[in-house]
């Protein structure tokens, strides 16, 4: 499903982008395009299994990258968490407002 991602960095302005959110076989997959150091678009993929219902620990396709996502307690249309890629770190949100039923199904499927 298409979703919107907002990444917050520890040392610079936040970035808004579109992403793809997939739940398949108990695994949560988030993928999006990002420009590398040379400005070339590259596909970034985070994937992982639930640590507990509504909370996931993800590993990224980039070296030394990992993240967490949890169903927000304030807004059930939002997943929120933190990420680390090498020496960079920050927080992120993934929103699928028109897919509330899917997000809730994903969270409860892990129970």
Kindly report, residue by residue over 46-95, the tens digit of the pLDDT: 999 989 888 999 999 988 999 999 988 887 788 999 999 988 899 999 99
Residue tagged 């949560």 (tokens) = 28
Range of the structural domain that residue 38 is part of: 2-109
Q: How far is residue 81's CA from residue 39's CA, in Å, rounded to a whole number?
A: 26
Question: What CATH number should be reported for the domain holding residue 8?
Answer: 2.40.128.120
Smallest CA-to-CA distance from 61 within 42, 80, 79 is with 42
Query: pTM for the whole thing?
Result: 0.84
Q: How many domains does the chain have?
A: 1
């Amino acid at each position: 499903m298409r979703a919107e991602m907002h990444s917050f960095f520890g040392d610079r302005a936040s970035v808004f982008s579109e992403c793809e959110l997939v739940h398949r076989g108990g695994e949560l997959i988030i993928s999006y395009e990002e420009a590398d150091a040379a400005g070339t678009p590259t596909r970034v993929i985070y994937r992982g299994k639930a640590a507990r219902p509504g909370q996931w620990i993800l590993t990224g396709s980039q070296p030394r990258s990992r993240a967490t996502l949890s169903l927000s307690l304030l807004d059930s249309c939002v997943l929120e968490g933190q990420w680390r890629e090498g020496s960079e770190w920050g927080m992120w949100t993934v929103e699928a407002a028109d897919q509330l039923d899917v997000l809730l199904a994903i969270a409860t499927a892990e129970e």
